[in-house]
């Protein structure tokens, strides 16, 4: 992994804070594929730019 990708990694708690929602909701969305995530062993991590892109797609889908 490049240094910039590692610096973009977020925990589910950090994503929940950014999106102002419960951590359990973020983890559920990740399991359902709504929010893209990576499994590193037993840990789930989110790439900030992937989460932002997913939000743009959700917004665009909602406006159609």
What pLDDT, on the 0 to 100 scale, is given for residue 42? 94
Residue 5 has what pLDDT? 83
Which of 4, 6, 3 is closest to 38 using CA atoms?
6
CATH number at residue 37: 1.10.1660
The pLDDT value recorded for residue 2 is 53
Residues present in the chain in total: 64
Structurally, the chain folds into a number of domains equal to 1
Contact 54, 35 (CB under 8 A): yes
pLDDT mean by block of 10 residues, the chain; 64 residues: 79 97 97 95 96 95 89
Q: Distance between CA atoms of 35 and 51, rounded to whole angstroms?
A: 6
Which residues form the domain of 58?
Answer: 3-62
């Amino acid at each position: 992994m490049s240094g910039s990708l590692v610096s973009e990694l977020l925990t589910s708690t950090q994503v929940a804070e950014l999106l102002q929602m419960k951590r359990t909701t973020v983890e559920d969305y990740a399991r359902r594929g709504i929010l893209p995530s990576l499994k590193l062993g037993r840990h789930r991590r989110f790439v900030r730019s992937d989460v932002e892109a997913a939000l743009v797609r959700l917004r665009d889908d909602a406006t159609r």
